[in-house]
Amino acid sequence: MPELPEVETVRRSLQPFLIGHRIVEVTRIAWPSTIAEPSPEEFSARLRDREIVAIDRRAKYLIIHLDQDEALVVHLRMTGQLTVVEAEAEPDKHTHVVLRLDTGQQMFYRDTRKFGRMWLLDREGLAALDRKLGPEPLDDTLTAEAFRALIRRRKGRLKQLLLDQAVIAGLGNIYVDEALWLAQLHPLATVGMISDEQIDALYAAIREVLASGIDKRGTTFSNYRDALGAKGSNQNYLNVYNRANQPCLRCGSPIEKIVVVQRGTHICAYCQPLGSSQEGES
């Protein structure tokens, strides 16, 4: 968290305030480890008086394209927030990076857990990042046929595969649980034990839950905010995630919480059965 819908919402909410404007200077780096590349000193020097030309998203990375073929790349990780605030706003103890804009406003990077990171990358660095990531699940080039071929090339449990950013980019715990519930697939089911029709159902479910998450401006349980500090509303529409012991919205059975790949995982055991034959498959 934040996952693809949250990062996409931040991207869209940043655009009106950043594109065509300039970063005047970096005025605060309170937690130097936030800057992954280059050094904090070089980061500050290279960001001085830089024009913002576009804002993209790749997986869970926010990519703020600058002039001179460089980009400020931000990964929010668990608790990162990137917001635009007025000139007089004062950073709190969790605000680790502050950029001053030519509009007089500031961009705050706030992160209570300090896991988020920033990079200043050139074209080659961006290409290297892109190569590490799987396809975008909402991209038109990832057709149902392409998704089926992608999954069939893999082995292992469905949830583990879907969380792997090298397999498919941008999914995290919330939206994987939601997609598996919608497709009526158990997170411990294996690729070898599901049909092509079930893979197609999973493909459709992934796209549906991500599109819905974006439409509702992301899921906020605690820290996630958009660029104006507003919460998302998708948490009010979740079918299974964070609903342990509540009735399944499809069949009425109680939602269970189990652990899969060290993640709290929410399922309806009735709607998402795992046959005994699947348990030993790879």
* 35-37/117-122 β-pairing: parallel
User: Quick check: is 159 catalytic?
Assistant: no
Nearest-10 Cα torsion for 106, 219, 206, 243: 160
> Which one is catalytic: 40, 231, 263, 281?
263
Residue 118's nearest CA partner among 86, 77, 78 is 77
Residue with tokens 């899969």: 260
From the list 50, 57, 58, 60, the catalytic residue is: 60
Per the annotation, the verdict on 187 as an active-site residue is: no
Active site residue 216: no
Asked if residue 86 lies in contact with residue 66, where contact means CB atoms within 8 angstroms, the answer is: no
Q: Rounded to whole angstroms, how far apart are CA atoms 253 and 80?
A: 35
Full DSSP string of 169-235: SS--HHHHHHHHHHHT--TT-BGGGS-HHHHHHHHHHHHHHHHHHHHTT---SSS---TTS---SGG
Give the active site residue among 3, 6, 70, 178: 3
2 is catalytic: yes
**Which among 2, 5, 137, 187 is annotated as catalytic?**
2
Residues involved in catalysis: 2-3, 60, 263
